[in-house]
Structure 1
Amino acid sequence: MRRLPELLAPAGSPEALRAAVQHGADAVYLGWGSFNARRGARNFSDEEFAEALAYCHVRGVRVFLTLNTLLTDQELPQALETAAAACRLGADAVLVQDWGLLTLLRLCLPDLPLHASTQMSVFTSGGAREACGDGCQRVVIARECSAEDTEAIIRNCPAEIEVFAHGALCMCYSGQCAMSALIGGRSGNRGRCAQPCRLPYGVNEPAKKHFPLSLKDSCLAGELGNMARMGVSCVKLEGRMKRPEYVAAVTRIYARLLAEGRGPTAAENRELETAFSRSGFTSWYWQGKHGAGMFGVRPENTPEPKALFAEVRAAYEKDSLRTVPVDLTCRVSAGAPCALTAADSAGHSVTVSGPVPEAARSRALTAEELETRLRKTGGTAYACREVTVELDGGLSLPASAVNALRRDALSALTEARVHPPLRRELPPPAPPENTCGSGALQWTVSVTGMAQLSPALMALNPARVCVPLELLPSLSTLPAGETEWCAILPRVWRDRDEPQLKTWLDHARSLGVTGALAGNIGHLPLLRDSGLYIYGDFGLNVFNSRSLEYLRKKGLRSACVSFELRFSQIRDLRKPLPAEAIVYGRLPLMITENCLLENSGSCRCDQPNFLRDRTGAAFPLLPAYGHRTEIQNDRPLWLAELPDFRRLGLRYARLRFTTESPAECVQVFRDYLEGAPARGTFTRGLYKRGVE
């Protein structure tokens, strides 16, 4: 019989943790310390975290620690210590996004299970296998994956696969959103997302009461049977920012459906929607569908479901819904201390002893009386399943002694259940050497259209020109110029697209393309046998020196650092790999599975299109591979006249051309060569101000 998926519930606070456990969660995920993707949640203090582990483990519930944010070099030691402390206390796994932290945890805490967070942007079998090969026992795949995508990944990857089953959907692929960071300085990659996707916008029109980025919550309650059949290891419920009562209400329904092997009733669907929804729910991503029907909002004056929340709160506050079956064996013999053995189904068995029984003066203790006393486990996490009594006749034992024997046995069993496993803890490796932190700065160029590669631009001799891979099949030759040609792989694709991508890569090589830009971990297995040099793109979220070292060992020849880093942080990176930074262009805010133009009712992807916010700012919308949309910042990054970026130890400085005309591309390149001031409105990005 196939094992049911694990039910993983959110625990944004100690009360939410209790609510999840009491209502049937198999595991909980929570934040402890400063480095998790929901830093706005209540989270846990040091004492609360230790108590949470004990509370969960005695009840057979696993605890996963979220350390799934990007980390600077200065933060990595503290994050490693947080993970080490959690490891010593017995945390069951750690969720990770950052490549540098992943490397440290694998080397320093080799026995601690690691889970690849959805922030890693994994949506293909190759990406999942890559994470698995790096030591991740489980991979949390992107929310945008369909049932077909999920089944393919499970079939082709040995790691456990976890699926988001219920809760909020981000408009952008997780780990690829810079909208909150660039607009408000609060990074979603650092656990501080301000949720700009929930605000009103207009597609090619002023922002009114339209919410083209606000997706309904996902609800896959009716798909649990299919998930179990295909081998999904874990279904996750979202909601660390939500109330404990919400966690209780949703967890108990999903636990019930998994246990009973059925879909939700109409009443259960209504209860899920009452607990929280945005204009209802959607399951379209799972079905492989997209469109305007997926979008919805939650009005600010939506009333709280007081009756439902009061009911579930009263249930979990009793702390008696979740008990552990225990078998007790008691031996009371003349002339010997009485003994009680407590055993659970997980293989733990403990024996404690009590006083020597006395000869009965009036009425002897009976086996029935002894069993009745032993079964009184109320107020504990245990419930007696079987009680075996071996009692010599004519003996007396006070009720207080039996009660103490029971308490001692259950206390000893608790100690055995919560005792942390023995795990190795090794010293961290030395920091990577700064072998590539000097040398002449070279200019690289990326374009969105071949027309931007004019003879005048090529005459400026960029060291590297990067072109979207999907543009190359229509070419028989490349524009003339002394440069290295690189193909930019699609930021998002699926397993079924890979035969076409490989064909395109073969054609690119025949044209003279010698390199490829990889912006996703799943690109690496696609490129290893392509004969092309691999260069890391911004989508890899390189935030620290150890991430550069990780990519160097993966065979990359350079990597673009995150544009959420400050100049000083880039300067201080130890660079074992040549580093690149975007120094000009409209920075990408989102890559979305939905085509915003199609959703607006008029798909004119071949024309200029914009997303307008409440201030009137216009964010260009560019078509992306697979009929997806990439949202660009409303103004270009401009650093030409600043000497700072030339002193950071970078090997490459990229001019990222998106909406510019061929003439504008040439002018920008010349301005950068000359260090000219900006023309028109611009931004310095996050290089000066940084992010939270």
Structure 2
Amino acid sequence: MATLKRGDVELLAPAGDWDCMRAAVANGADAVFFGVEKFNARARANNFVMDELPEIMAFLHSYGVKGFLTFNILVFEDELNEAKRLVEACIDAGVDAVIVQDLGLVKLIRELSPDFPIHGSTQMTITSPEAVEFTKPFDIERVVLGRENNLKQIKTIGEQAKLPMEVFVHGALCVSYSGQCLTSEMWGGRSANRGECAQACRLPYDLMVDGEQKPMGDVAYLLSPKDLAAVELVPELIEAGVTSFKIEGRLKSPEYVANVVSKYRLAIDNYFDGDRTAPSKEQMRELQQSFSRGFTHGFLDGTNNKKLVEGTFPKSRGVYLGRVERVLRDAVVCRIEAPLKRGDGIVFDAGDPTKKEEGGRVYDIRRQGVKMEGEAQEDTVLEIVAGRNDVDLRRVHVGDRIWKTSDPALDKRLRATFETEKPYRVFPLHVKVRGVLGQPLRSWWTDVQKGTTVEVSSELALEQAQKRPMDHAFLEEQLGRLGGTLYQLEKLDAEMNGELIVPVRELNRMRREAVELLAGERPKPPQYVKRSVDVYADAAHRAAALQEGGAPPHASSASVSGAALAQRNAASRKGAAQLTVLCRTLPQVEAAVVSDVGMIYADFEFIKQFPAAVELARRAGKPIALATPRIHMPGENGYHANILKLQPDAVLVRNTGALYYYLRARAERPNEKFPQLIGDFSLNVANHKAADLFAEAGCDLITPSYDLNVQQMFDLLERSDTSKMEVVIHQHLPMFHTEHCVYCTFLSEGTDYTNCGRPCEERRVSLQDRIGMSHPVRVDEGCRNTVYNAIEQSGAEYLRSFIDLGVSSFRIEFLEETADKVEEVIGLYSAAIEGRINGTQVWRSLKAINQLGVTRGQLVK
């Protein structure tokens, strides 16, 4: 890999509002990412509005800063026209790129414009070179890697895939893989894939081991990671080939943005200046002060489950000061571990963040009873007076931790960086001047960073100087008076033919005109191709066929288009629809192979069980599919090679990296029988364009996203080729999918799979929430954890509507069910498909036989 130069590395900052955007620019960001209205993954941020795009981009471009619009959510069928309008507005305003999750949206953007820049969001779950390769036909110019990739993997991806890489370096860590979290969707109808994350990972849970609660002391936040802070790793990241350093935080304050951006700006500049000195203790404290749940390098150093999650608190604490040593009448005694002064905010941490915590402003600091002025330094024993009447010291105990939660002086200093009338940054000017007696003075002004040149001439002719002629020094002084503008004179090339002069006021006018012309050029947007597109034209033939056969009763007038009539009629015939069954244990497979289901999926924790499942299916004459893991990391292709050696009838493919691997393998074996490729829910197909994209790529069947409610599912199916759709009709929803291993963290002394002793092979863990529901935690071959919802969900009531829309394949997914339960559930759904009972009867029967009950889940909102 070629060595990166200073200009190759971008510092990318978040902006949730105008103050944050100004703070980012003022403190050295090369680019800013921001969202508008609903189409972004931070619905709770203030965000901007679409009409502001020209103003935003003019502001950013005037300072040479790029602007990226976050479009990193799934787009539902009835939103495609609205999404198109926003993309068109981005093209017109000169947005430098859109950050996209939904591959259907990628397809739409490429229909609108062949050259408008697209960045693949971390929500795409791109974690391997193969996943990057999958994006290349769509001319995605940059990918945002998953936060779970380590430095070695990042370097491998860069060397193999040769596409610019963006990596998160600071801010909150999601415990789940981005794009693979369904918890908010399941529990509150607030989808993380729609920017509405309810942060269920920050809630307390009890650890249940083999059905018994494990005592955990004050550790309750089992899924709440510390915050990422990789400023110390800037040299390693640059040398690994990272071209964009991304700071998380569109919900954070402008002071946070100013603080973090300035620290990373300094670290990057220091590296290219040859200085690899680590950030100072004071710099790290300032970073903690703006926001910190405790800092970690995340996964960049590799997996260390013990460091990732501490588990004692879920929210920002700030800077650790020390522990209470004594409680006095009006103060506490503490040997402080960080500087402290009057006015700072503190909180007393008794170990239970769910209860009201005492805290307030520091009213006074004393040393042995004597009031101190100024700032007390670390390793000083202080008497800290926290407020007058707002802190109840009776609720403070010896041993309580003390945190410095705010520093008004630091905030004031940070605000001063962007609350100023001065320009936030200035750019070098090269000026060339030529003068001939009797002619106007000619000048050419070049904005070096922008690359534009303007010519300005004097309105008066040059005259012979009687006293002091205009020499180089004189011109440099007059033309260099650029204070308060975006420019500073870096180089002057003056060639005067004789001792000449024009009035100083004329030089001033020329300078002002040149600056105004150059400044007017900076905000001009880049020009991209923009075509006129009907977003539903590619589904028009399906709409015509459906109208010919009559729209189904549930179809809204706004969503009429859909499945081909022949498919619909065929699927409606008795027996045309079939059940498939996903099994997670061999006893489940044994029960399923003697039923009349159309295919068995084997999805086991350990690949060593696959041959037995294949053998069971072969003996029963049943087709069998083997499931891939949800994640595909560099160096994991051996897993997929082993799947192909077992010659299954199909592969359930759960990520684009694995899909690329199988598509390439199929292309390399044109004369061999190759398994069907079935795209699973985790590919996040939420609209017909995404469905078409995966079908065109080579998927034989596609599973719609679990983010769809029932009307959104109808809308999708009405415009899609439903002969290529399989709908999951019964399951335990897989909520979190995470690199963080609960088994390793809390059931072993180890830090990762190499030294944990693999307690997952002997124990069964679940997480019990605040209402007493226990959610099973299962591992996969890559030692990743999936937390499944405790309650099964069923879409049985919609079976007939789905069949009417042409769907002919329905999947049941089992988790911990016994063989008898497998047989019973298959029987109920078979009866429903054959019309012997209705979907409501299925649902009621399941509720009656399952002590936890069954919910209709995400299909209903």
Common topology (TM > 0.5): yes
**Structure 2 regions of 5+ residues with no counterpart?**
318-346, 348-403, 543-562, 667-673, 749-758, 832-837
- The reply to whether residue 356 of structure 1 matches residue 460 of structure 2 is yes
Q: Is contact 1:445-1:655 (8 Å) kept?
A: yes
Instruction: For residue 647 of structure 1, report the CA deviation from its aligned partner.
Output: 4.0
Worse-matched range after superposition: 214-223 or 604-613? 604-613
> Which deviates more, 469-478 or 410-419?
469-478
Deviations for 1:570-625, whole angstroms, at most 9, x for unmatched residues? 22221135212211111110111011122122534544321111121211112222
Report the counterpart of residue 303 of structure 1 in structure 2: 405
What is the CA deviation profile of residues 73-118 of structure 1, one whole-angstrom value per residue up to 9, with x for unaligned ones?
Answer: 2212222221222122221111111011101112221111111100
Deviations 1:260-307 (A, max 9, x none): 1123222222222222110x2111411112213212433575622322
After superposition, what is the alpha-carbon deviation per residue over 1:449-488, rounded to whole angstroms, capped at 9, x for unaligned? 1211224x32322112111272314567133434321111
Which residue identity lines up with residue 586 of structure 1 in the other structure?
H
CA contact (8 A) 2:436 2:462 kept: no
Equivalent residues in 2 for 1:593-608 (5 A)? 593-601=739-747, 603-608=759-764
The one-letter amino acid paired with 2:429 is V
The answer as to whether partners of 1:132 and 1:138 remain within 8 angstroms in 2 is no
Instruction: Please list the CA deviations of residues 654-676 of structure 1 after superposition, one character each: whole Å capped at 9, or x if unmatched.
Output: 11101211111111111222342
In structure 2, how many angstroms separate the alpha carbons of the residues matched to 1:190 and 1:76? 14
Q: What CA deviation, in whole Å up to 9, does each residue of 1:214-251 have, x standing for no partner?
A: 10111111221122222211111111111111111111
Normalised by the size of structure 2, how large is the TM-score?
Answer: 0.76
User: Quick check: 1:617 aligned with 2:773?
Assistant: yes
1:538-549 correspondence to structure 2 within 5 Å: 538-549=681-692
Mapped to 2, the partners of 1:565 and 1:190 lie a distance apart of: 11
The aligned amino acid for 1:192 is E
Rounded to whole Å, the distance in 2 between the matches of 1:65 and 1:90 is 11
Of 625-634 and 596-605, deviating more is: 596-605
- Cα gap change, 1:7/1:241 in structure 2, threshold over 3 Å: closer, same or farther? same
Which deviates more, 381-390 or 251-260?
A: 381-390
Give aligned-pair identity as a percent.
31
Q: Secondary structure at the match of 1:39?
A: coil
- Cα distance in 2 for partners of 1:334, 1:42 equals 60
Match of 2:729 among 583, 590, 598: 583
SS at match of 1:355: strand
Q: Distance in 1 between matches of 2:459 and 2:614?
A: 93
Following superposition of structure 1 onto structure 2, how do residues 374-523 of structure 1 map, counting pairs within 5 Å?
Answer: 374-391=479-496, 393-399=499-505, 401-428=506-533, 430-432=537-539, 433-434=541-542, 438=568, 439=571, 440-455=576-591, 457-468=592-603, 470=607, 471-473=609-611, 477-479=615-617, 480-502=619-641, 504-509=642-647, 513-523=648-658
The whole-number CA distance in structure 1 between the counterparts of 2:613 and 2:703 is 27
Which residue of 2 is the match for residue 28 of structure 1?
32
**Runs (4+) off by over 6 Å:** none
Structure 1 residue runs of 5 or longer lacking an equivalent are none
Q: 2:253 aligns with which of 239, 243, 246?
A: 243
Q: What's 2:176 paired with?
A: 172
In structure 2, the CA distance between the partners of 1:383 and 1:548, relative to structure 1 (3 Å rule), is same
CA deviation digits over 1:417-458, x for unaligned, max 9?
322222211232622343566223321111111211224x32
**Matching residue of 1:324:** 427
Of 564, 573, 576, the match for 2:707: 564
More displaced, 67-76 or 330-339? 330-339
TM-score for both structures, normalised by structure 1: 0.93
For structure 1, which segment, 245-254 or 644-653, has the greater mean C-alpha deviation from structure 2 after superposition? 644-653
SS of the equivalent of 1:655 reads strand
The structure 1 residue matched to 2:194, chosen from 186, 190, 197, is: 190
Q: Which residue of 2 aligns with 1:2?
A: 4
Name the aligned partner's letter for residue 257 of structure 1: A
Match of 2:826 in 1: 669
Letter in 2 for 1:290: N
Residues in 2 aligned to 1:266 and 1:236: alpha-carbon distance in whole angstroms: 22
Count residues with an aligned counterpart.
682
Alignment of 1:115-154 (within 5 A): 115-154=119-158
> For structure 1, which segment, 670-679 or 21-30, has the greater mean C-alpha deviation from structure 2 after superposition?
670-679
- 8 Å Cα contact 1:93/1:115 also seen in 2: yes
> Contact 1:461 / 1:482 at 8 angstroms: preserved in 2?
no
Aligned-CA RMSD value: 2.3
C-alpha separation between the residues in 2 aligned to 1:30 and 1:77? Answer: 21
**Contact 2:291–2:316 at 8 Å: present in 1 too?**
no
Q: Which amino acid aligns with 1:460?
A: S
Superposition deviation, residue 44 in structure 1: 1.8
Q: Alpha-carbon deviation of 1:64? A: 1.1
| Matched residue type, 2:766 | F
User: 2 CA distance for matches of 1:334 and 1:441?
Assistant: 93
Aligned-pair CA distance for 1:641:
4.6
Shift of 1:9: 1.1
Pairing 1:160–2:164 present = yes
Change in Cα spacing, 1:121 to 1:256, as seen in structure 2 (3 Å) is same
Moved more, 677-686 or 338-347: 338-347
1: CA distance, partners of 2:681 / 2:856: 17
Is the contact between residue 586 and residue 613 of structure 2 (CA under 8 Å) also seen in structure 1? Answer: no
| Deviates further, 263-272 or 582-591 | 263-272
> Larger deviation: 334-343 or 223-232?
334-343
For 1:57-68, what aligned pairs fall within 5 Å after superposition?
Answer: 57-68=61-72
Alignment pair present for 1:283 and 2:297: yes
What amino acid is aligned across from residue 241 of structure 1 in structure 2?
A: L
> Residue 633 of structure 1: SS of its match in structure 2?
strand
Distance 1:74 1:125 in 2: 33
- Checking the alignment, whether the CA contact within 8 Å between 2:184 and 2:192 is kept in structure 1 is yes
Greater Cα radius of gyration, structure 1 or 2: 2
Contact 1:493 1:626 in 2 (8 A): no
Matches within 5 A, 1:80-95: 80-95=84-99
Q: Give deviations 1:624-658, integer Å, cap 9, x for gaps.
A: 22112101112100233554444443232111101
8 Å CA contact retained: 2:206, 2:769: yes
**1:317 Cα shift?**
2.1
Structure 2 equivalent of residue 220 of structure 1: 230
Counterparts of 2:233 and 2:520, CA distance in 1: 38
Q: Deviations over 1:491-534 (max 9, x none)?
A: 124222212431x223320xxx2111111111112212252211
